Structure 1
Amino acid sequence: MSDAPDAASDPELCAADRRPPFAQLLPMGIQHVLVMYAGTIAVALIVGGALELSRADISYLIMADLLCCGIGTLIQSLGIWVFGIRMPIVMGSSFVTVGPMVAMATSGEVGIAGIFGATVVSGIFGVLLVPFFTRLLKFFPPLVTGTVIASIGISLMPVGINWAAGGVGAADFGAPVNVGLAVFVLACILTINRLGRGIWVNISVLLGLLVGYIVALPLGVVSLDGLASQPVVGIVTPLHFGMLEFPLSGIIAMCIIMVVTLVESTGMCLALGEMVGKPVDRGLLNRGLYGDGIATTIAGFLNGFPHTSFSQNVGLVGMTGVTSRFVTVVSGVVLILLSLFPQAAFVVASIPKPVLGGAGLVMFGMVASAGINIMTKADMAQRSNQLVFAVSIGFGMIPLAAPGFFAVFPDWTAPIVHSGILLTTVAAVVTNLLLNGPEAVAEQDDTAARAVLEDAAARQHEPATGRD
């Protein structure tokens, strides 16, 4: 690990290596945790719900997620051997992987052990891919990357909509109290974003969930049955849900999405380099991407999901000007400490579906919005680019519009063909090559990274809404 500098004002130190006074480290570190908390636990809530796990199991997933986030953040911020970029990065569960994981969970062919196994393999795949990644990056220019990210938000919207009505299979599905709660939470989040400032805007989703939860308590839609049986302190253990399984379809799905995740992380690393005055060369970028891969591998063993650098925390660095990596080291320690309290995780897991639905409409919609923003870095007045977007989104809509479209396909293909995100990714890469030609794609070798960098820089002063 790197040695901590003794003074924040040492002119010889990079901004990332300067350490603020100890009294400031804790509140600054907690601020980073507040900004990313709602976004990262949402992944556990979504996937746990798709798997129809009990609240106790979902609370365990939340604990595991917080632990993995803390470990990943420490790896990236401190740096261990070739892993970690040594910049103020906070790691969290990647929203990009939610679609494939939900597809696996709902297919009936892949259980939670298979999802964790695919996570481990995708992390190892990511580590092995890093040295060759710059060659693959040219296949993911802004047009492709933006289209894929937009499809993620579109694919997740039905989840938020069903939550708002009470959750699929709920006896009171669509009841006025459910819809009213969802609308109330949505209104709270929008009001905070309209009238709030600073950190209040950055944690608007978290505040919306909190206020919605409080309002839901007297309405009788919150159940805390089983809370008393949860231990006050608990420790996450590896392979809690059983030995890992390695379904081929799940592995293929997660490895493809890992490429998209690395494209996003490249943009985050480049943006941070600009913020801290430490230009990111290939070696430094490799360290950051290695950090993503190893954090994802560790997460799979510790009952967690694929991890990536959280863009809202990169935005927070730009907004506050606090560029010290020792602030995010504190964030990592805080996340690990939070993972030790099962009762707190159980309470989070008891958030009613309608409350989650109100927040989900914002979070998932902002994912789609971010994708469209990146996509517009390409010339969308060009007909070939319009066709790439149209065909790719069309393929991605198949599982949503016609769930039985691939019913006669072999069962092992279910997690692949039922994932609109994967279908969009394959369609976008192929149609971009066909319509724009390999020469045009080759000319865009590092355009995707630059576009994500520009997007991150443009959003430095915008509020975070839970996107990874």
Structure 2
Amino acid sequence: MANVTVDAQKQTKAVHPVDEVLPLGQLLVYGFQHVLVMYAGAVAVPLLVGAALRLSQEQIVYLINADLFTSGIATLIQVLGLGKLPIGSKMPIIQGCTFTAVTPMILIGNTHDLTTIYGSVIVSGLIVFLISPYFSRITRFFPPVVTGTIITTIGLTLLPAAIGWAGGGQALSDPAFGNIGIVLFSFAVLVFILLIYRFFRGFISNIAVLLGIVIGTLVAIPLGLTNFAEVTRADWFGITTPFRYGLPTFDLASIAAMTLVMLVTMAETTGDMIAVGDIVGKRVSRRVLASGLRADGLSTMIGGVLNSFPYTAFAENVGLVSLTNVKSRFVVATTGVMLLVLGLFPKLGAVVAAIPAPVLGGAGIVLFGTVAAVGIKSLAKVDFSNHANVMIVAVSLGVGMIPVGAPTFYHQLPDWLQIITNSGITAGCVAAIVLNIYFHGFKGGGHKDEIMEHEEHELQPVLATEGPRLDEFASEAPAPKREEKGIPDKED
């Protein structure tokens, strides 16, 4: 009888996989895998903004270091929270600079200067922080038909970046792009990852992407596909200081533009958080969503102070969580610490930046395709016998693909409107929300499995506990008997 009582107590005190603290070795390996996956996207925003504003190489390097350092802070806030304050979702979500803000920041910088960019970033972050509780109340407009469409659009719009890397990383118009040797090497990396994923399980299978990137880079060295020149030039140590380029200046039009960007980013973050909740088997309540959005706002304010940019959830890392089925938020916290270190030691960041584009391309096809697959799984919950749902998905995906297929399609629209239309993710997100309201009204669509509206609904993990296999995405086979059961969020 005593044994039964003890077993019952153990079950009561069972730790949700999200809150599980893995052994240090696994934390370091899984955390580093997240770093490699997100690094190219993390440094892309300061590179693009710095080049467009004609900053010096020294200034651009500083922006990159500031971005990495702040990304580490933002990630730690998101996954660990701030004590008992309602800030941070406490879910395995990596934070990085949002691409949605690139165009308006370039416009603001060319019209004014960096200090005006940072002023608008700080104010827009504050606005996000303040309105997060109210924004979380509109989650009835995010039934599976909307969230699934958004997540699928995110994956599909990210895939061209992976294809560009696989072709060599040059512009599509460059004659060197698509060199057959480069393409074959990139696909060799992809095949290597698939072989590991097919023939290994457990820990080795979970680090398939990491092994593909590391082995691919090592093989690329004798092939002459790597360039470590920046490693020798990079400083060993660098400190990010607040307001390095001067105190922020505030321009009303710039603030309005950046606030619009952040409102769109909040919708994207909502989709990412729901996707992660679906993957890890943890309900994303209104309180959790509001806390996660507050973390976005606070991190964006910190970014403005530390010479960086707006922050949001990184979809590529959502794909990695799904691919590996490693759900612990402490893995992502380890990634946050690593980003802090990379921001303080530029030479280490330069080593990671030396990973050849074809290697990233092979890994990116797997990761970004996985994001799209997660979206498709969400869409599997939708009742497609209702033709309105078919139209919502079809038109939203089509709208989202326009900027991908024709980047200059909207070039004659006003600049403020291009903030929305030039991003496939943003355009698809807005289209899905608007069409859902159009067809289903303001009740949110009436889906029985709307994640946000169930008080006692417990999401089941999307993927098997033994680690997902690529062929399972298309499988309707029953889940393994040892499937983990999500533990309801006590905050609700």
- Report the TM-score, using the length of structure 1 for normalisation: 0.77
Counterpart contact for 1:235–1:340, Cα < 8 Å: yes
Shift of 1:137: 0.3
Of the three residues 369, 373, 380, the one matched with 1:369 is 373
Of the three residues 144, 156, 159, the one matched with 1:157 is 159
Counterpart contact for 1:186–1:358, Cα < 8 Å: yes
Secondary structure in 1 matching 2:178: coil
Alignment of 1:1-400 (within 5 A): 15=15, 26-47=24-45, 50-51=48-49, 53=51, 63-75=65-77, 76-77=79-80, 79-84=82-87, 87=90, 89-93=91-95, 97-98=98-99, 100-101=100-101, 120=122, 123-166=125-168, 167-168=170-171, 170=174, 172-238=176-242, 246=254, 248-265=256-273, 268=276, 286-302=290-306, 303=308, 305-308=310-313, 311=318, 332-400=336-404
Shift of 1:210: 1.5
One-letter identity of the residue aligned with 1:368? A
Counterpart contact for 2:46–2:67, Cα < 8 Å: no
The yes-or-no answer on 1:402 pairing with 2:410 is no
One-letter identity of the residue aligned with 1:375? L
Residue-by-residue CA offset, 1:333-360 (whole Å, 9 max, x unaligned): 4543343221111122122222222222
Shift of 1:271: 7.5
C-alpha separation between the residues in 1 aligned to 2:71 and 2:392? Answer: 35
Using the TM superposition, name which of 384-393 and 157-166 deviates more: 157-166
Using the TM superposition, name which of 410-419 and 374-383 deviates more: 410-419
C-alpha separation between the residues in 1 aligned to 2:262 and 2:348? Answer: 30
Alignment of 1:437-452 (within 5 A): 437-439=441-443, 441=445, 446-447=450-451
Sequence identity of aligned pairs in percent?
Answer: 33
One-letter identity of the residue aligned with 2:194? L
Does 1 or 2 have the higher relative contact order (CA < 8 Å, sep 6+)?
A: 1
C-alpha separation between the residues in 1 aligned to 2:224 and 2:336? Answer: 36
Shift of 1:390: 0.9
Counterpart contact for 1:33–1:335, Cα < 8 Å: no
C-alpha separation between the residues in 1 aligned to 2:238 and 2:135? Answer: 39
Counterpart contact for 1:63–1:340, Cα < 8 Å: yes
5+ residue gaps, structure 2 = 1-8, 471-492
Secondary structure in 1 matching 2:233: coil
Counterpart contact for 2:72–2:336, Cα < 8 Å: yes
Counterpart contact for 2:132–2:293, Cα < 8 Å: yes
Counterpart contact for 2:157–2:424, Cα < 8 Å: yes
Name the structure 2 match of 1:4: none
C-alpha separation between the residues in 1 aligned to 2:69 and 2:279? Answer: 26
Counterpart contact for 2:153–2:397, Cα < 8 Å: yes
Residue-by-residue CA offset, 1:223-264 (whole Å, 9 max, x unaligned): 222322222222233456776884644542332121231343
Cα distance, 1:82–1:63 mapped onto 2, change above 3 Å: same
What is the number of equivalent residue pairs in this alignment? 443
Aligned Cα RMSD in Å? 4.2
One-letter identity of the residue aligned with 2:155? G
Residue-by-residue CA offset, 1:180-223 (whole Å, 9 max, x unaligned): 22112211221121122223222222222222211221222222
Cα distance, 1:432–1:311 mapped onto 2, change above 3 Å: same
Name the structure 1 match of 2:488: none
One-letter identity of the residue aligned with 1:256? V
C-alpha separation between the residues in 2 aligned to 1:231 and 1:152? Answer: 35
Counterpart contact for 1:122–1:251, Cα < 8 Å: yes
Secondary structure in 2 matching 1:339: helix
Residue-by-residue CA offset, 1:117-152 (whole Å, 9 max, x unaligned): 666555434322332234210111111111111111
Name the structure 2 match of 1:5: none
C-alpha separation between the residues in 2 aligned to 1:312 and 1:353? Answer: 19
C-alpha separation between the residues in 2 aligned to 1:190 and 1:108? Answer: 42
One-letter identity of the residue aligned with 1:77? L
Counterpart contact for 1:268–1:456, Cα < 8 Å: no
Shift of 1:285: 5.8
C-alpha separation between the residues in 1 aligned to 2:144 and 2:359? Answer: 34
5+ residue gaps, structure 1 = 1-8
Secondary structure in 1 matching 2:232: coil
One-letter identity of the residue aligned with 1:257? T
